[in-house]
Amino acid sequence: MTRARGTREHIPTPIMATYYAQRASAGLIISEAIGISREGLGWPYATGLWLPEQIAGWRRVTDAVHGAGGRIIAQLWHMGRVVHPNFLAGAEPVSASVTTAPGHAHTYGGRQPYTAARALRLDEIPSLLADFGRAARNAMEAGFDGVQLHASNGYLIDQFLRDSSNFRDDAYGGPISHRIRLLREVTQAVADAIGADRTGVRLSPNGETQGVRDSDPLPLFIAAAEALSAIGIAHLELREPPLDGTFGVGYLDPLAAQLRPAFKGPLILNSDFDAQRAQAALNADIGDVVAFGRPFISNPDFPRRLAEGLPLTPGDRETWFTQSPDGYIDYPLAEPPLHMHRT
For the annotated catalytic residues, the residue numbers are: 155
The pairing of strands 267-270 and 235-239 is parallel
Closest among 185, 191, 166, 186 to 176, alpha carbons compared: 166
Helix residue ranges, H only, 232-283? 256-259, 275-283
Kindly tell me the burial class for residue 4, based on how many C-beta atoms sit within 10 Å of its own C-beta (0-12, 13-18, 19 or more): middle
Closest among 220, 257, 227 to 242, alpha carbons compared: 257
Do residues 106 and 86 touch, judged by C-beta distance below 8 A? no
User: Left (φ > 0), alpha (ψ -120 to 50) or beta: where does 219 sit?
Assistant: alpha
Do residues 304 and 313 touch, judged by C-beta distance below 8 A? no
Residues facing 289 on adjacent strands: 268
Residues facing 29 on adjacent strands: 72
Dist CA 76 CA 57 (whole Å): 16
Do residues 214 and 220 touch, judged by C-beta distance below 8 A? yes
Radius of gyration over every alpha carbon of the chain, rounded to an integer in angstroms: 19
Dist CA 43 CA 150 (whole Å): 15
Dist CA 323 CA 86 (whole Å): 19
Nearest-5° Cα angle at 250, 106 to 76 = 50
